[in-house]
Amino acid sequence: MSSNEMTGGEAMARMLKACGTGPMFGMGGFQLLPFYDAARRIGLDHNLINDERCAVFIADAYAKVSGRVGVCDATLGPGATNLVTGLVEALNAGSPLVVFVGDTHRMHAWKNMTQETRQIEILRPACKELIRIEMVERIPELVRRAFQVATSGRPGPVVVDVPEDVCHGTHPFDDAEFAVDPGISMAPSLRCRPASEDLTRASAMLAGAKRPLMLCGGGVHISGATAAAEALAHAINLPVAHTMTGKGAIACSDPLNAGLFGRYDRIANALIDASDCLLVVGCKLGEIATKRYTVPAAGKTVIHLDNVAEEFGRTFQPTLRLWGDAREGLRDLALELAGEADAIRARQQGYADEVATKMAEWRGSVEARLTSDERPINMARLLNELNAAMPADGILVADGGFAAHWGGLLYDTKQAGRGFVPDRGFASIGYGLPGAMGCALAAPGRPVVGLTGDGGFNMVMGELETARRLKLPLTVIVVNNAASGYVKALQHLMYGAGSYQSSDLAEVNYARVAESLGCTGIRVEDPADIAGALRQGISGASGPTLIDIVVTRDPAHMLPGVDNRTVQVKKGDRVA
């Protein structure tokens, strides 16, 4: 057994190499310099970022789409504190991340060191686990631990805090210390299955229901359960509704798709109300999904399948709890029902046809908005053009708030799987561009479009330089309404026309901004030009394309549906 004297930073880099991590982003400082030097020498794919929050967003989107652990780093103090928003997104969304943070030399701590703060206390509630490395020789063990925690149970971000003297210190490591189980680099690395007696009871409840409905959350994607969801749905004609993060549980074009449920829905809320058995899969039943905890109505028969026991009863008391992995639970349910599946499917055909008919009627009812020629451009027209332009394997990244709600309601995936990536863990704006970067890195060859508002883009536009530097072939659509659109629309609904405070932005031509950063910029003011701009962006250019879409400035027509928190709703305010 050979041993090599190396710095702690090199030991960190070697562990990442052993784990087979993908692209990594960070902004260095003195504390992590040995790691950066080793990353260069051993060939880690490490890249400079312009803002640490975007490094976490990129890692989060990369993890969401690839299922692999996303990795990034930051220096101490302001670098560390800039991570908080992205860490909470990953924590709430169940994204497996390992994040390295430099810290002060322990001999100099609490002696007014430059940039020093109580960063461990700040970061601890923003991550699944925080591991501080106190001894150089424990680096392989604790980095391995970080990956194990990040990928087990509900995946999440693990912060590894590395003091300067640990990173710069040396130790004669044995080669065997860098061995890892490759399974810890993927999530979920471990799976559990519901108890057999609970599965038997659940299958009987579904078999006996006349109007069963499956409600899928983001857990179906974390688990890789979309094929299992499709199989069960088709086996017994079980319609499927979804949250924003659950979109793609089955294809939106599938006749059994009931669309988004909760605050913004098409037909799903009415189906939930009429259902006699709801199968909730990988869904926390949070505020948006339940329309402020009113959907499903109290007393509904609910089977809740989740691998996090703490979620049972948090917002709705289920009739039956299935504690286990979504993929394994759905597979087991399908096996339990296999003997009756043909009979159930035939019996439920009329119900399934009813769902398809209602969805077709809904589409017809909003056709005028989907094809509107109005100027400025109607958001419904933009989403309809996106539906036509995106190939089946395309990925739409939707920024928090405005973009996510419009995309959740109107964007249709054409196949099961993670084709729609909203940042609904924390619903922060600013995710559209870095999220698209992470998806492009996770799925090379798949067309990636980021949908963001002008307010969100203003926060992160510097990352266009990063995307250009990496020659990422992605498209960013900036929904340009010269406002913090969601806030302005709510002010209009709640306080009336003209009652706007701190919600307007200056008029900006973002196509020119993109061009000044060396990217392709296209400004679209006529809806007839949307299709051509999307074709150009999605065609696979050698670098990023930004499409600046000038949309309505009328706050009465900004929201995709009536927000349930408002009481002043005017006729015509519901856009789609």
Buried b (16+ CB within 10 A) or exposed e, 190-201: eeebbeeebbeb
Cα–Cα dist 374/105, whole Å:
61
What is the tally of structural domains in the chain?
3
How confident is the model over 14-26, as pLDDT tens digits?
999 999 999 999 9
pLDDT (0 to 100) of residue 3: 80
Q: Which of 335, 360, 385 is the last residue of a domain?
A: 360
Q: Strands 24-27 and 212-216, how do they pair?
A: unpaired
Q: Are residues 200 and 74 in the same domain?
A: no
Q: Are residues 397 and 467 in the same domain?
A: yes
Rounded average pLDDT over 145-153: 97
Q: Are residues 168 and 208 in the same domain?
A: no
- Whether 28 shows a pLDDT value over 60: the answer reads yes
Q: Are residues 515 and 386 in the same domain?
A: yes
8 Å CB contact between 408 and 289: no
Cα–Cα dist 220/184, whole Å:
20
On whether residue 90 sits in a domain, the answer given is yes
- Whether 467 shows a pLDDT value over 50: the answer reads yes
Which residue matches tokens 């960070």? 26
Which residue matches tokens 């060191």? 113
Q: Are residues 344 and 479 in the same domain?
A: no
Q: What does the angle CA 283 – CA 284 – CA 287 come to, to the nearest 5 degrees?
A: 115
Rounded average pLDDT over 78-87: 97
On whether residue 525 sits in a domain, the answer given is yes
pLDDT (0 to 100) of residue 561: 57
Q: Which of 343, 360, 377 is the last residue of a domain?
A: 360
8 Å CB contact between 430 and 454: no
Q: How many beta carbons lie within 10 A of that of residue 278, not counting itself?
A: 24
pLDDT (0 to 100) of residue 564: 41
The alpha carbon of 146 is separated from its chain's Cα centroid by a whole number of angstroms, namely 21
Q: Are residues 392 and 270 in the same domain?
A: no
With cut-offs at 50, 70 and 90, classify the pLDDT of residue 160: very high
On whether residue 63 sits in a domain, the answer given is yes
Cα–Cα dist 119/161, whole Å:
9
8 Å CB contact between 71 and 16: yes
Residue 526 is which amino acid?
A: D
Q: Quick one: tokens of 466?
A: 């990063």
Query: How large is the angle between the packed helices 52-66 and 84-93, nearest 10 degrees?
Result: 20
With cut-offs at 50, 70 and 90, classify the pLDDT of residue 110: confident
Q: Quick one: tokens of 239?
A: 């319609």
On whether residue 279 sits in a domain, the answer given is yes
On whether residue 565 sits in a domain, the answer given is no
Task: Point out the least confidently predicted range of 87-101, 103-117, 153-167, 441-455.
Answer: 103-117
Q: Are residues 475 and 538 in the same domain?
A: yes
Q: Are residues 221 and 342 in the same domain?
A: yes
Q: Are residues 376 and 318 in the same domain?
A: no
Rounded average pLDDT over 366-388: 95
Average per-residue pLDDT in the chain? 94
Q: Are residues 355 and 370 in the same domain?
A: no
- H-assigned helices in 300-397: 326-337, 341-347, 349-365, 367-370, 379-389
Give residues with Cβ within 8 angstroms of 444, minimum separation 6. none
Query: What Å distances lie between residue 72 and 28, 97, 101, CA to CA?
Result: 11, 8, 9
Specify the 3-state DSSP secondary structure of 461: coil
Which residue matches tokens 């999530």? 187
pLDDT (0 to 100) of residue 2: 64
Q: Are residues 329 and 439 in the same domain?
A: no
What DSSP state is assigned to residue 69?
A: P
Residue 527 is which amino acid?
A: P
Q: What percent of the chain has pLDDT over 70?
A: 97
Range of the domain at 470: 366-557
Q: Quick one: tokens of 79?
A: 């670098």
Cα–Cα dist 204/567, whole Å:
42
On whether residue 228 sits in a domain, the answer given is yes
CA atoms within 13 A on the CB side of 556: 9
With cut-offs at 50, 70 and 90, classify the pLDDT of residue 574: very low
Task: Point out the least confidently predicted range of 110-114, 504-508, 513-517.
Answer: 110-114
On whether residue 564 sits in a domain, the answer given is no
CA atoms within 13 A on the CB side of 531: 6
Buried b (16+ CB within 10 A) or exposed e, 507-540: ebebbebbeebebbbbbbeebebbeebbeebbee
Q: Strands 170-174 and 240-242, how do they pair?
A: unpaired
On whether residue 190 sits in a domain, the answer given is no
How confident is the model over 408-436, as pLDDT tens digits?
999 999 999 999 999 999 989 999 999 99
- H-assigned helices in 366-443: 367-370, 379-389, 402-410, 432-442
Q: Which of 126, 50, 29, 77 shows the shortest CA–CA distance to 434?
A: 50
Q: Quick one: tokens of 494?
A: 């709640």
Domain CATH code at residue 511: 3.40.50.970
Q: Which of 136, 151, 185 is the last residue of a domain?
A: 185
Q: Which of 68, 55, 107 shows the shortest CA–CA distance to 186?
A: 68
Q: Are residues 345 and 381 in the same domain?
A: no
Domain CATH code at residue 340: 3.40.50.1220
- Whether 486 shows a pLDDT value over 90: the answer reads no
The values of phi and psi at residue 217, to 5°, are -110, -170
8 Å CB contact between 379 and 404: no
pLDDT (0 to 100) of residue 568: 38
- Tell me the three-class secondary structure of 102-147, residue by residue: EECCCCCCCCCCCCCCCHHHHHHHHCCEEEECCCHHHHHHHHHHHH
Rounded average pLDDT over 192-203: 98
The values of phi and psi at residue 473, to 5°, are -85, 75
Query: What Å distances lie between residue 227 and 247, 257, 383, 468, CA to CA?
Result: 13, 14, 26, 35
With cut-offs at 50, 70 and 90, classify the pLDDT of residue 113: confident
